[in-house]
Amino acid sequence: MSYRGRFAPTPSGPLHFGSLVTALASWLDARYHQGEWRVRMDDLDPPREQPGAADTISRQLEAFGLHWDGALLYQSKRGDAYQAALDALLEQGQAFYCTLSRQQLKALGDVHPGPSVAQPPGPDRAVRLTVPVAALCFDDRLQGRVCAQLAEEEGPFVIRRRDGLFSYQLACALDDRDQGITDVVRGADLLTSTLQQIRVLDCLGATAPRYAHLPVILQPDGRGKISKSMGGAALDPDLKGPLTHAALTCLGLSPPTGLQQATVTDLLQWARENWTPEQLPRGTGLPAPALLQGGKV
């Protein structure tokens, strides 16, 4: 199958610099492999969403020259597909209903005991997916061999919440399968999510994409990654050139200083001509570039 990548933001607010780095890496990798690049809105959690954010994100991507292939996909329109997969997992005995609260789980060391506490179907019940006792592993293009003992670290994980909302892990795995996604480039903060999504795909008899987990961009003060929840500033459209230049530098490229004020078209053309996946940084975190540390965005 030919390369098909994707960028899947949550519309909880506008894109920030960390989002730009991830989107740019995903887009460039797809173009380097002469593949497609899809955009999907992970809009499954209404309490977290910001009205109008999906449209804002679409406009931001276009303003920064990151045009996608095909139609936008919205998770909020995929409920029937998620329910069908959930029913199949329950029927196969791979998933079970659970009534344990967060407080009860905390008393158990935050590790779910497994199907021994399964409950019959009913209201106010989460659905959890079983996990193997053996370590689950995958080979990441940037992070190398990644393994985790899901049974010991968390136990069976939620694929449908008590309030009836489908989980990110279930929806993301199904969307990647149904969209024919072959390659996922995203932040290293999602490594645990990747293992859980691989488990979902394994239970459904599907093949997982190839993954490349980028180091996340840290806040200027070093306190965790730049994120919407931590107040990451929205991308300034008046700084498209400098921001794109800084993002390319974070991705291991060395764009000429003279391109800082270039158009995004010229910057992306230079990036496509000079992109090689081998230049991508390893590790799990990168310091914020000087442009952000100077308080200009």
> Over the chain, what HEC string results?
CCCEEEECCCCCCCCCHHHHHHHHHHHHHHHHCCCEEEEEECCCCHHHCCCCHHHHHHHHHHHCCCCCCCCCEEHHHCHHHHHHHHHHHHHCCCEEEECCCHHHHHHCCCCCCCHHHCECCCCCCEEEECCCCCCEEEEECCCEEEEECHHHHCCCEEEECCCCCECHHHHHHHHHHHCCCCEEEEEHHHHHHHHHHHHHHHHCCCCCCEEEEECEEECCCCCCECCCCCCCCCCCHHHHHHHHHHHHHHCCCCCCHHHCCCCHHHHHHHHHHHCCHHHCCCCCEECCCHHHHCCCC
Q: Is the pTM of this model over 0.85?
A: yes
State mean pLDDT over 64-70: 98
C-beta separation of 29 from 184 below 8 A: no
Domain boundary among 214, 249, 266: 214
205/237 same-domain check: no
Indicate the pLDDT class of residue 296, thresholds 50, 70 and 90. very low
Q: Which pLDDT belongs to residue 116?
A: 82
Clarify whether residues 85 and 44 are in a common domain.
no
Q: Is 211 annotated as a binding residue?
A: no
| pLDDT at site 228 | 55
Domain finish residue from 195, 214, 233: 214
Q: What's residue 233's pLDDT?
A: 84
pLDDT exceeds cutoff 80 at 12: yes
State the residue range of the domain holding 280. 4-75+218-293
101 and 208 belong to one structural domain = yes
Residue 42 is labelled as binding a ligand: yes
pLDDT at 235: 94
Indicate whether 286 and 187 sit together in one domain. no
Instruction: Say how far apart CA 33 and CA 149 lie, in whole Å.
Output: 33
Boundary of a domain, candidates 194, 214, 234: 214
CATH number of the domain bearing residue 192: 3.40.50.620
Count how many domains the chain has.
2
pLDDT confidence bin for 294, thresholds 50/70/90: low
What's the pLDDT tens digit per position in 39-53?
999 999 988 899 999
Within this chain, do residues 178 and 145 fall inside the same structural domain, yes or no? yes
Asked if residue 159 and residue 246 are part of one domain, the reply reads: no
Residue recorded with tokens 């887009």 = 27
Q: Are residues 210 and 94 in the same domain?
A: yes
The vertex-75 CA angle with 74 and 80, nearest 5°, equals 120
Stretch 156-172: mean pLDDT, rounded?
A: 97
pLDDT reported for residue 230: 47
Residues 230 and 166 both lie in one domain: no
Summarize the confidence of residues 239-266 as an average pLDDT.
95
Local confidence band at 227 (pLDDT 50, 70, 90 cut-offs) = low
Residues 161 and 143 in one domain: yes
- 174 and 85 in a single domain? The answer is yes
pLDDT band for position 15 (cuts 50, 70, 90): very high
pLDDT at 143 over 90: yes
Q: Are residues 148 and 96 in the same domain?
A: yes
| Predicted pLDDT of residue 232 | 65
Q: Is 168 annotated as a binding residue?
A: yes
Average pLDDT over the chain, rounded to whole?
Answer: 93
Q: Is 10 annotated as a binding residue?
A: yes
